[in-house]
A and B are shown apart, each in its own frame.
Chain A
C-alpha cells in the first residue's frame, strides 16, 4: 500500500502534466472557433487612394443629400454620423464656426490660419488652407492649396492639383489626379500623382556629351555576362559619357560618371552614385543608399533600402511612363520632378540646396589631387 499510493499519485500528476497542453487543443478541435482561412486581400494592398475613395463613398452615403441641398440654397446643415460624430455641410467656411466634426463643403472651402481640424474635410470644389493649419484628412474634387507650415496627419487627395507651401509636414499619403507641388523644406511620406514637383522649378544645364559605348571587357570585375546582365564582383566605376546596353549588378559600390547612359537597369548591393546628367532607362536598385547628382533621369523604379539623395533637377519616370521611388529616407533637392509615386518610409524631405554628399565628394577628390573631370 505504501508503494501503490505514491505510484498512483505520480500517475495522476503525469496525466495532468501531459493533459495540460492537450486540453486547449482538444477544446479548439471541437469548438472550431478559429477555422477560417487567413484573409487574403484581393485588391492591391498599396492603393494610395484607398482612404480617399472610401471617404468619398462615405460622404455620398451620409451627406449626399445635404450637399445637394447646399448646392441649391447654400444652407448650412448640421447632423450626426452613425458613430455619433457631428458633421456640418456648408457652402463656405464661417470663421466663427468651431471646427468640430466632419466638414463637407458644396463649393470651395477656405480655412483659417492656425485652424486645427481633427476630422475629415470634403470639398466639392477646392480646399484652401491657411498658414499653420492642421488637418486630419482632406478630399477635394478640384484642388487643395495649403499655406506654408501646414500639417497633414493622415491623407490628402485632390482630383486636380495639390500645392503645399514651404516647411509643411505631410504625414500619410498625398495623391492628386494631375499634379502635386511641394515647397522647399517640406517633409512627406507617400506621394502619388502624374507629376510631382519638389520646390521651385530649376533648370539644370547639362553639356552635351558624346556617348562612348562600353562593353564588359572594358570593365574589371565582370564575371558573367549571360542573359544580358553584367555580374560584377566588387565595385564598378563607369567613365564619363559611358553607354552600357546591359543590366548591371555589382556586389560593391557603383559609380557612374557624369553624362553616362545606362540602357538597362543597375543594382548595387551597397551604394549607387550617379553623376550629373546620368540617364538610366531601366531601374536603379541600391542595397544601401542612392546618390544622384543634378539632372539625372531615371525611367524605371528607384528602390533603395537606405536613402535616396537626389540633386536638383532630377527626373523620375515620365508622363507617359510613371514610376515609383521608394526608400527609407528620400531627400530631394529643389527642381526634382517625379511622375508616379514617391514613398519615404521614415523621412521624405525637400531640400533647398545641393546635396551635401555631392559636395563632400568633390572636396575629398580635390584634396587628394584627383582629376575631378572623371569623378562623379
Chain B
C-alpha cells in the first residue's frame, strides 16, 4: 500500500511539473522600439518550411526563402494576445502584366477568422492597406494609407504592431501608418503571409507578444465552412501552447490514449445500462426455480472454517435441519488449523447428528480457503458439492434450490444471492447493502437472463465435482478460487447458473479498514485470474463471442479504476496544454463512469432497491459515492502495486471477514 502511494504521488508530481512548462512557452524576450516583447514565433525560411506550416495556392521554398504567387497564403500556428508585433522580410519579385503585386502580413484567430489584423504593401503605386477587425460584433473598417510604393527586387522589412488601442505599420523601420483602434482582448492563433497578383518572396516571420501573455486554458477555434483542409499531421488539435505545437506527436498520443479511456468508459456504461434495462423490461430467466419435486441427488456441503468459533455452530445447526431427503445430505465442515474452539464446537455438534456431519480437521498443507477445499475433496463422494462460508446461515429450502440447477447436465456451478443482515450498523454497511443489491439483484440476474456468465462467488453456491475435477479442481494458489473456478469451468464448456431467489444472509464489513482488506483481496485475485485466462478465453472455440466479451469486461473491471485515474490525469494534462477536444463530451463520458463504475452503478443500485421493494434506502445513493472513491483508490493502488511489484503474487493465506456480534432475529 505504501509503495503504491509513493508511485501515485511521484506520478502526480511528475505530471504536474511536466505540464507546467508546457502550458507556457519558453519565450525569449527582446526590446523592440523601446518596448519589451516576448517572442512567440521566429522562423527563418532558410530552414525550409515550418513543420506545422500550411497554406494554399502556389508555394515553394527556394534559395532560403518562401515564394508565394498569385493569391497563395502560408500560415504558421502560434498563439498570441491582442497586443502583438508581426515582422517579416519580403521581396516583391514580379507581377503579372496589368496587376500590382502585393505582400500581406497578418494574423487571425484561427479558422473562425472573426478577428483579423494585417497590412499589405504593393508595388506599382497602389496604396498600402491595413485591416483591424475584431470579433463578430465589432468590425473595424479597412484602413488605406497612401505611401510610396515598394520597389521590386529589394528586400524590405515590414512590421505591424497592435498595442493598447493603436495599430501601426512600419516599412523598413519607418512608421508609415498609425491609427487609434478599439482595445479588445482577444486571442490570435494563425499569423500568415500572402501574395497578391504576383510573386513575393519571404525570408522570415517573427511574432511577438507581451511577456505577461499566457495561453488560455480554454482555446478552441471554430472552423468556418470553406476553410482549406488542414494537411495531415498538423490539425487543429495541436493548437495550444507553442510547445504543444512543437511537440505535437506526443500530445496527439496522449489525446488518443484519452480517447481510448473514454471509449472503455462508454463500453462499461452501455453494459450497465443494458443490464439495468434488462432487469426492468426484459424476460427474466429462472429455469430451475420450479423444480420442487425430484429424485434429489446426494449432496455434500463444505464449510471451510478458520477460527470461526463465533459462528460455526449456527451454520451447522441450520444445515442439520434443512429440507432435504434424509440420507442424501452430508455436511463436511473443514476446520483448517483453527486456534480457537472451532474444532471442538464442530465435534460437539457432529456427535449430536449422528452420521450427518463429517468433520475434517486439517492440520497441514497450503494455507487458504482454496487449498482447504481442494484437500477436502478427497473425502467427497457425491457429485454435487455446495460451499458455504462459516458465517452464513442457510434457509430451510436453500439446499434444494441450489441443487436444482445441477439437473441441467451443462451446469458446472451455481450461485445464490447473498443479502447483508448487519445493514443497520453504520453508513458503510448500509452502502454495502446497496452495492450488494445492485451486484446480485441486477448484475448477476441480468447476466443469467442474457445467457452471459454469472459468476460463482465462493459461498452460497456449489460446483459439480466431476466438472471441477475435469478442469483441474480448486486452485490452491488463487486468492479468489471462485473466480478462478468460474473461468476454468467456462473454458471447459460448463455453465454457471445464478439463482436470484436462493438467498442467504451474510455479514458485510463494518469498518473501512475491513472493507479495504476485503476489496484488496478481491482485486488481487481478480487481476490474477484476468492475467492468467484472458488469452485462453479469447482463443476458446467453446465460448461464444458474447460470453467472451462480457467475461473480459468482468475480469478487467478492477483495472478500469486505474484506467480511469490515468484518464483523469490525461485530461488534466491536455487541458493545461490547451488541447481540450471533444470538450463537453469528454466531461460527460468521464462523469458517466464516476456514477456508473465498478460496484457503484447508480442505476443498477436504484433498480435493485426497487425490485427488492425497498423504498427509503435508495435515498442513500449519493453516499455510495464515498464507497466508490475509496474503492477507486484502493483498487488502483492494489492493481498498480500488483502490476509493478508482484505480478505473479502468491501471497495466499486465510482472508475472511472479521465478525462482530450478530443479531439472529432477522433469520426467523
CB distance from A256 to the nearest CB of B (A): 14
B48 at the interface (CB under 8 A from A): no
Point out the residue from B291, B295, B504 that lies within 8 Å of A326, measured CB to CB. B291
Interface residues of B in 598-615 (CB under 8 A from A): 612, 614-615
Given A42-B397, A247-B409, A265-B407: A34 in contact with B617 (beta carbons within 8 A): yes
A155 at the interface (CB under 8 A from B): no
Whether A34 and B504, one on each chain, are in contact in the complex, defined by CB atoms closer than 8 angstroms, is no
Point out the residue from A25, A43, A45 that lies within 8 Å of B620, measured CB to CB. A25
B408 at the interface (CB under 8 A from A): yes
Whether A299 and B287, one on each chain, are in contact in the complex, defined by CB atoms closer than 8 angstroms, is no
CB distance from A92 to the nearest CB of B (A): 36
Partner-contacting stretch, out of A119-127, A132-140, A158-166, A224-232: A224-232
Whether A35 and B430, one on each chain, are in contact in the complex, defined by CB atoms closer than 8 angstroms, is yes
CB neighbours (8 Å) of A228 from chain B are 466
The distance in angstroms between the C-alpha atoms of A43 and B420, with both chains bound, is 18
A14 at the interface (CB under 8 A from B): no
A324 at the interface (CB under 8 A from B): yes
CB distance from A177 to the nearest CB of B (A): 14
The distance in angstroms between the C-alpha atoms of A22 and B503, with both chains bound, is 31
A21 at the interface (CB under 8 A from B): yes
Whether A227 and B466, one on each chain, are in contact in the complex, defined by CB atoms closer than 8 angstroms, is yes
Q: Nearest CB to that of B544 among chain A residues?
A: A251
Q: Nearest CB to that of A190 among chain B residues?
A: B290
Partner-contacting stretch, out of A3-11, A144-152, A199-207, A300-308: A300-308
B206 at the interface (CB under 8 A from A): no
Whether A35 and B408, one on each chain, are in contact in the complex, defined by CB atoms closer than 8 angstroms, is no
Point out the residue from A37, A247, A249 that lies within 8 Å of B423, measured CB to CB. A37
CB neighbours (8 Å) of B621 from chain A are 21, 25
A75 at the interface (CB under 8 A from B): no
CB distance from A95 to the nearest CB of B (A): 39
CB neighbours (8 Å) of A247 from chain B are 409
Q: Nearest CB to that of A338 among chain B residues?
A: B293
Q: Nearest CB to that of A18 among chain B residues?
A: B622
CB distance from B84 to the nearest CB of A (A): 29
Point out the residue from B466, B493, B666 that lies within 8 Å of A231, measured CB to CB. B493
Whether A301 and B291, one on each chain, are in contact in the complex, defined by CB atoms closer than 8 angstroms, is yes
Whether B623 and A324, one on each chain, are in contact in the complex, defined by CB atoms closer than 8 angstroms, is no
How many B residues are at the interface, by size bracket?
Answer: 35 or more
B424 at the interface (CB under 8 A from A): yes
Q: Most chain-A CB neighbours within 10 Å: which of B293, B427, B466, B621?
A: B293
A52 at the interface (CB under 8 A from B): no
A233 at the interface (CB under 8 A from B): yes
Interface residues of B in 610-654 (CB under 8 A from A): 612, 614-617, 619-623
Whether B295 and A43, one on each chain, are in contact in the complex, defined by CB atoms closer than 8 angstroms, is no
Proximity bits, A11-48, B CB within 8 Å = 1, else 0: 00000000001101101110111111110111111111
Whether A249 and B410, one on each chain, are in contact in the complex, defined by CB atoms closer than 8 angstroms, is yes
CB distance from A20 to the nearest CB of B (A): 10
Whether B407 and A44, one on each chain, are in contact in the complex, defined by CB atoms closer than 8 angstroms, is no
Whether A324 and B409, one on each chain, are in contact in the complex, defined by CB atoms closer than 8 angstroms, is no
A115 at the interface (CB under 8 A from B): no
B292 at the interface (CB under 8 A from A): yes
CB neighbours (8 Å) of A301 from chain B are 291, 294, 404, 407
Whether B295 and A38, one on each chain, are in contact in the complex, defined by CB atoms closer than 8 angstroms, is no
Point out the residue from B295, B323, B493 that lies within 8 Å of A323, measured CB to CB. B295
B162 at the interface (CB under 8 A from A): no
B419 at the interface (CB under 8 A from A): yes
CB distance from B141 to the nearest CB of A (A): 33
Whether B292 and A35, one on each chain, are in contact in the complex, defined by CB atoms closer than 8 angstroms, is no
Given A227-B470, A233-B542: A44 in contact with B397 (beta carbons within 8 A): yes
The distance in angstroms between the C-alpha atoms of A47 and B433, with both chains bound, is 28
Point out the residue from B287, B323, B419, B541 that lies within 8 Å of A303, measured CB to CB. B287
The distance in angstroms between the C-alpha atoms of A227 and B397, with both chains bound, is 28
CB distance from A340 to the nearest CB of B (A): 4
CB neighbours (8 Å) of A37 from chain B are 419-423, 433, 505, 666
Q: Most chain-B CB neighbours within 10 Å: which of A42, A231, A305, A321?
A: A42
Q: Nearest CB to that of B295 among chain A residues?
A: A321
The distance in angstroms between the C-alpha atoms of A44 and B296, with both chains bound, is 15
Point out the residue from A36, A48, A249, A264 that lies within 8 Å of B292, measured CB to CB. A48
CB neighbours (8 Å) of A24 from chain B are 619
Given A29-B620, A303-B291, A324-B290: A35 in contact with B423 (beta carbons within 8 A): yes
The distance in angstroms between the C-alpha atoms of A252 and B290, with both chains bound, is 24
Whether B294 and A324, one on each chain, are in contact in the complex, defined by CB atoms closer than 8 angstroms, is yes
Interface residues of A in 299-333 (CB under 8 A from B): 299-301, 303, 305, 317, 321-324, 326
Interface residues of B in 399-447 (CB under 8 A from A): 400-401, 404, 407-410, 419-424, 427, 430, 433, 437
CB neighbours (8 Å) of B615 from chain A are 34
The distance in angstroms between the C-alpha atoms of A46 and B668, with both chains bound, is 18
A257 at the interface (CB under 8 A from B): no
CB neighbours (8 Å) of A326 from chain B are 287, 290-291
CB neighbours (8 Å) of A41 from chain B are 395, 503
CB neighbours (8 Å) of B345 from chain A are none
B100 at the interface (CB under 8 A from A): no
A143 at the interface (CB under 8 A from B): no
Q: Most chain-B CB neighbours within 10 Å: which of A37, A38, A229?
A: A38
Q: Most chain-A CB neighbours within 10 Å: which of B292, B400, B492, B668?
A: B292
Whether A38 and B419, one on each chain, are in contact in the complex, defined by CB atoms closer than 8 angstroms, is yes
CB distance from B272 to the nearest CB of A (A): 19
CB neighbours (8 Å) of B622 from chain A are 21-22, 25
CB neighbours (8 Å) of B288 from chain A are 303
B385 at the interface (CB under 8 A from A): no
Whether B617 and A341, one on each chain, are in contact in the complex, defined by CB atoms closer than 8 angstroms, is no
CB distance from B409 to the nearest CB of A (A): 4
Given A41-B503, A43-B395, A44-B323: A322 in contact with B666 (beta carbons within 8 A): no
CB distance from B609 to the nearest CB of A (A): 9
Proximity bits, A225-262, B CB within 8 Å = 1, else 0: 01111010100000000000001110000000000000
Whether A227 and B293, one on each chain, are in contact in the complex, defined by CB atoms closer than 8 angstroms, is no
B289 at the interface (CB under 8 A from A): yes
B298 at the interface (CB under 8 A from A): no
B501 at the interface (CB under 8 A from A): yes
CB distance from B612 to the nearest CB of A (A): 5
Q: Nearest CB to that of A339 among chain B residues?
A: B293
The distance in angstroms between the C-alpha atoms of A37 and B291, with both chains bound, is 27
CB distance from A155 to the nearest CB of B (A): 15
Point out the residue from B464, B493, B612, B616 that lies within 8 Å of A33, measured CB to CB. B616
CB neighbours (8 Å) of B289 from chain A are 45-46
CB neighbours (8 Å) of B564 from chain A are none
Point out the residue from A25, A43, A192 that lies within 8 Å of B396, measured CB to CB. A43
CB neighbours (8 Å) of B612 from chain A are 38
Point out the residue from A44, A231, A264 that lies within 8 Å of B401, measured CB to CB. A44
A223 at the interface (CB under 8 A from B): yes
Given A35-B423, A322-B294, A323-B293: A40 in contact with B504 (beta carbons within 8 A): yes
The distance in angstroms between the C-alpha atoms of A132 and B276, with both chains bound, is 45
CB neighbours (8 Å) of A198 from chain B are none
Given A36-B424, A44-B323: A249 in contact with B409 (beta carbons within 8 A): yes
Q: Nearest CB to that of A21 among chain B residues?
A: B622
A267 at the interface (CB under 8 A from B): yes
Closest 4 CB pairs of A and B: A44-B397, A34-B616, A247-B409, A340-B293
Q: Could you list 19 A-B pairs, sorted by A, with CB under 8 Å?
A: A28-B617, A29-B620, A29-B623, A34-B615, A38-B503, A38-B612, A38-B614, A40-B503, A42-B668, A44-B292, A45-B397, A46-B291, A223-B541, A233-B541, A282-B409, A283-B409, A300-B294, A317-B295, A343-B290
By a beta-carbon cutoff of 8 Å, the part of chain B in contact with chain A is: 285, 287-295, 323, 395-397, 400-401, 404, 407-410, 419-424, 427, 430, 433, 437, 464, 466-467, 469-470, 492-493, 501, 503-505, 541-542, 612, 614-617, 619-623, 666-668
14 extra interface residue pairs, beta carbon distance < 8 Å, beyond A35-B423, A285-B410, A341-B292: A21-B621, A24-B619, A25-B621, A37-B420, A37-B421, A38-B503, A40-B505, A42-B668, A45-B397, A192-B292, A192-B293, A226-B470, A283-B408, A303-B290
